[in-house]
Chains A and B, each alone.
Chain A
Amino acid sequence: MSPSVPLQEMIRAIRSARTQCEERGVIQRECAAIRAQFRQADNGGRSHNLAKLLYVHMLGYPAHFGQMECVRMIASSRYSEKRVGYLGAMMLLDEKQDASLLITNSIKNDLSHSNQYVQSLALCTLACMGSAEMCRDLAPEIDRLLRASNSYIKKKAALCAVHIVRKVHELGELFAPAARSLLSEKNHGVLHGAVVLITELCERSSESLERFRKTVPDLVQIMKGLVISGYSPEHDVAGISDPFLQVRLLRLLRILGRNNETASDAMNDLLAQVATNTDSTKTVGNAVLYETVLTVLDIKSESGLRVLAVNILGRFLLNNDRNIRYIAMTSLQKIVGTDHNAVQRHRGTIVDCLKDQDASVKRRALDLSLALVSASNIRSMMKELLLFLSSCPPELRSQAANGIFTAAERYVRDETVPNLIQLITNTSELHCYTVHKLYRALLSDISQQSLVQVACWCIGEYGDLLLRGDCQEVEPMQVCEDDVLDALETVLQSHMSSTATRGFALTATMKLSTRITDNVDRIRSIVSIYGSCIDLELQQRAVEYNALFKKYDHMRYAKKDSTHFCCCGVILFCSVNSFAFNVILEPECEQLTMHVLTLYGLTL
């Protein structure tokens, strides 16, 4: 008797339970009964009990006590019991259980059974939960079945071989010859299995890949047969002949043609034919077209074919069916790195998809939009992305924000420091106030690079105003030269200061040498230390400043006001910081200026 009848009674009993608690009670009673029956040695209704147990397992209740029963059932000679036993093995056993080793022998015997359905049960179970040891033991059997059996068994053996190769990579070598010969089969199921097996072998090892490249002509032939041949009722799905096999073949061709000119050439005609002849009004047609497009874009195809492929993707993007739009965006994502310009052409449609109702489509559109951001379209893209961020579903928010920040970092230049310095220079009435405030800020915290840079520049430029100390707007503070130099030195030596900040501080220190009178030696020593600094920029500055000290010391106080060194400082500043400042050139400074410029190798 088939296991169904008592099983149905139990299912009816479970369904009639009105509450979860009642259901649990029913199931516990049933499980107890099943357990008791398992313990009995010989039992006519064994398969019923195991079937009941599997149903209970599906609902989520523990069923591990059925594992040994599975082993016993598999060893039975009756087909019905074997069937349930193998089903139980697939659901309850896995390689970590000890019981799984016990069924290895049963599987081995069943693989050579006279009845093909028993063989198929064994193959199915091995492919589902076979451990590495089991696979190693049984691989020769599978190889035998691949060569000499009927097509029903061959196709199952092929997929079983795929599982074995996944578990034990070295066994791929064993199956390669058999796989090759399977390509000449007529039965579509066997062909399908053979293609999957060859795909797995090629993905695992490059020698297999090389070997199977020689089969490209055969594969092209098979594919042509499918595409061109007339209506074949047994494999037809909505007008396309065996689309599943076509898709698998295209995928294998993709793997074989990648990075290989000869293989790619052999496929070009076929791919063009498939791309133009396939009917795209039904889902199946689109599945085949989609696979063709992916293949064309992945191998070394000729440019005309590539253009055709991207156009097909563009057509998909405008399709009414959301599924098609979703997969079009998935494939555009794959090629956005290599064919960036082609994808940019569809940017408008993609950005529109950000407003789609469907969360999956939105997610794809977001990924693709972030990938398409470039220096030329950043403004418009940001507008769209910010609009999206304000109304997007919560699970996409972090990704969108992250993307926007990354784009900002890459494309936006930080102009704060030069703009602020320009502002300060232009408001001469606030110089005193500014330098005092910034000095105080510098004393309290030197971690913010932009602030420190502006502060150092101001101290260097308006240090005399700072030292004079008489400013109306701020509370009076006595600042002596040592304090100022201490502050600048702290910035120079702090590990928090970036190289640019240190450059600012060094230049400021140098500029102070014209504004202060007592501590020139200190300045000279600070500057000379940096003459041997590891950083090239700082070293260069320090050496040149040193040279200025030595050669032009006599000119330091030639004029009471500091325009000379102001002008030198400005030129130095200009050249090393590339700010667009106006260079003030007074005739008296011309000689000095020319010296400085030759020092830098610059010409005005």
Chain B
Amino acid sequence: MIRAILIFNNHGKPRLSKFYEHYTEDTEQQIIRETFHLVSKRDENVCNFLEGGMLIGGSDYKLIYRHYATLYFVFCVDSSESELGILDLIQVFVETLDKCFENVCELDLIFHVDKVHNILAEMVMGGMVLETNMNEIIMQVDAQNKMEKSEAGIAGAPARAVSAVKNMNLPEMPRNINIGDISIKVPNLPSFK
């Protein structure tokens, strides 16, 4: 069983924290700090497994982590999970995020933390691995996002119109429109942006 999934950056700031066992808020923050402390001490070429810290349950639990650029992905698991399997699961998770966000970076995780939660919910449920097939996960997440968008309905129209215009590629405005012998001078329109 997976006890917790944590993503934090090289300075220990949490980017995602999902606990499958109940802890108080203070304890959760302490666990994040303790895990960061344990994981950041590790060299680059040592193995990816660590015994868990005191707070998360001690030596019965293992921390399996992977370091990608500025982020640490840490899964805290007990002995019923296969260590190498979880390592692969982290890889699948990161690849899925990459597909969903188009070359994911830390900023994507910061500003779309709810989306990351939704993706994670399709992979791990109640501390157990649910789905490991990347295409299946992405398919489900897309369907759910579509549902949300369609629900926005009329209320969402102005916002969508604004974002559509902002992204529109306006061709260069002609200064003069010459049709036959009519010449129209186009006034200077204010920029949409």
Interface residues of A, Cβ cutoff 8 Å to B = 1-5, 7-8, 11, 15, 44, 51, 54-55, 57-60, 62-63, 78-80, 83-84, 87, 94-96, 115, 117, 123-124, 127-129, 152, 155-156, 159-160, 162-163, 188-189, 192-193, 196, 234-235, 237, 242-244, 247, 251, 283-284, 286-287, 290-291, 321-323, 325-327, 330, 357-361, 363
Contact = CB atoms under 8 A, between A and B. Distances in A.
Given A244-B89, A283-B87, 13 more contacts: A4-B114, A11-B111, A59-B14, A60-B29, A124-B125, A193-B130, A234-B133, A287-B82, A287-B84, A287-B88, A290-B82, A323-B49, A326-B47
Given A96-B22, A327-B84, A189 B16 contact: no
5 contacts: A5-B159, A159-B126, A160-B126, A162-B126, A291-B82
A80 B152 contact: yes
Interface in B145-193: 147-149, 151-152, 155-156, 159
B46 A127 contact: no
A117 B16 CA distance: 23
A235 B47 contact: no
A155 B130 contact: yes
A491 B170 CA distance: 107
Contacts of A51: 114
Contacts of A58: 14, 16-17, 113
Given A15-B110, A322-B46, A326-B49, A189 B151 contact: no
A62 B147 contact: no
B71 interface: no
Interface in B88-133: 88-89, 92, 110-115, 117-118, 121, 125-133
B47 A7 contact: no
Contacts of B32: 60
A84 B151 contact: no
B10 interface: no
Contacts of B140: 152
Interface residues of B, number: 56
A243 B47 contact: no
Contacts of A117: 143-144, 147
A244 B129 contact: yes
Contacts of A78: 151
Q: Which of B28, B51, B92, B148 has the most CB of A within 10 A?
A: B148
Contacts of B112: 4
B70 interface: no
B147 to A, nearest CB: 5
B130 A159 contact: yes
A21 to B, nearest CB: 16
Given A58-B17, A360-B49, A84 B114 contact: yes
B3 to A, nearest CB: 12
Contact of B159 (A1, A290, A327): A1
A155 B51 contact: no
B128 A128 contact: no
Given A78-B151, A155-B130, A357 B46 contact: yes
Contacts of A84: 114
B84 A124 contact: no
A55 B110 CA distance: 9
Contacts of A330: 83
Nearest to A233: B135
Contacts of A3: 114
Contacts of B114: 3-4, 7, 51, 54, 84, 87
